[in-house]
Amino acid sequence: MDTRQIQYFLAVCDHLHFTKAANELGISQPTLSQQIRVLEDELGMPLFDRIGKKIVLTEAGKLLLVYGEKMLQAEHDAKQSIQELLRGGGGTVRLGVLPSDLDFLLVPLFIHFHQHFPSTQLQAISTLRIQEEVLDNTVDLGIGVRNTPDNRLTQIALRSEPYELVVNRSHPLAGRKEVKLREVEPLPLVMYPRGFLGRELVEKACREEGFHISTVMETTTASSLLQLVKANIGATIQPQSLLKRGPEQYELLAIPITDRPPVRHLELVHRSDRFISAAQKQLTGWLIEFFER
């Protein structure tokens, strides 16, 4: 079997439909069917069960799906490593980042990376599914909330940081040096929607204290939340680093939460079996240093 046949096979797996897979590949449906039959003849087992107009993977097909993806990834890694050797750089590094960190925190580091690796394309992708994106090879590196250990991944612990109450300077609590988590209960808040990791951490901490937060508005970006706080729509609860590294024009105050505040534990992850380019290795080092500050 060759990688072209594996690509054809994986396309059929994606669609479970020969015509749709053929259209995606830019070949005719008979040609695709013939190549799959050649592959099945070589392996000595059917890869798909054809049930009327529907197809499903056989046990042999499920096995080839696992190893076929690894074959294509190995080919990609081999080509990338050789191209890097020939060019002395280049290529692409895909970094998955939580939305709040991508808004403000990491842009200076991206500029620093480009200055040192101008021929390497950096793709910074906002996502909540950091570990899944890394495992699916959608991104090369990811920075997210610490997850359960996985032997397919290299997981590097970064810093842990508490959440703080962020308020407008005219807010009744603006003069306080600290607040207790319980004091958040009556406040109108602007927050990420439920399902966002930061929102879930805050909700969990509040439930453990015996209350639920009340939101007056919800948005999906850190910048919009801070604008809403600036407009005195409500307060918000965000990671300690957000205002420290965020733009100064918001002119907001971050008040520490003293008793059992929500805390996020960050980690950097990449697949253990992937080729790591020089640019990716350097970016990994810089990210570790950045989050140690």
CATH number (domain holding residue 109): 3.40.190.10
> Is the domain of 53 the same as that of 191?
no
Q: What was the pLDDT predicted at 113?
A: 93
> Is the domain of 17 the same as that of 149?
no
> Is the domain of 288 the same as that of 153?
yes
Summarize pLDDT for 108-163 with one digit per residue, the tens: 899 999 998 888 889 999 888 899 999 988 999 999 988 889 999 999 999 899 99
pLDDT higher at 133 or 85: 133
> Is the domain of 168 the same as that of 249?
yes
Nearest Cα to Cα of residue 255 among 162, 178, 183: 178
Confidence class for position 101, pLDDT limits 50, 70, 90: confident
> Is the domain of 68 the same as that of 28?
yes
> Is the domain of 140 the same as that of 177?
no
Cβ atoms < 10 Å from Cβ of 188: 13
Q: How many structural domains are present in the chain?
A: 3
Q: Which of 28-32, 98-102, 192-196, 224-228 has the lowest mean pLDDT?
A: 98-102
> Is the domain of 199 the same as that of 124?
no
Summarize pLDDT for 236-252 with one digit per residue, the tens: 999 988 777 655 556 89
Handedness of CA 14, 16, 20, 26 (dihedral sign): positive
Cβ atoms < 10 Å from Cβ of 164: 24
Domain that holds residue 63: 3-86
Q: Is the pLDDT of residue 85 over 70?
A: no
Rounded-to-integer distance, Cα 268 and Cα 247, Å: 25
Q: Is the pLDDT of residue 102 over 80?
A: no
Q: What was the pLDDT predicted at 72?
A: 87
> Is the domain of 117 the same as that of 105?
yes
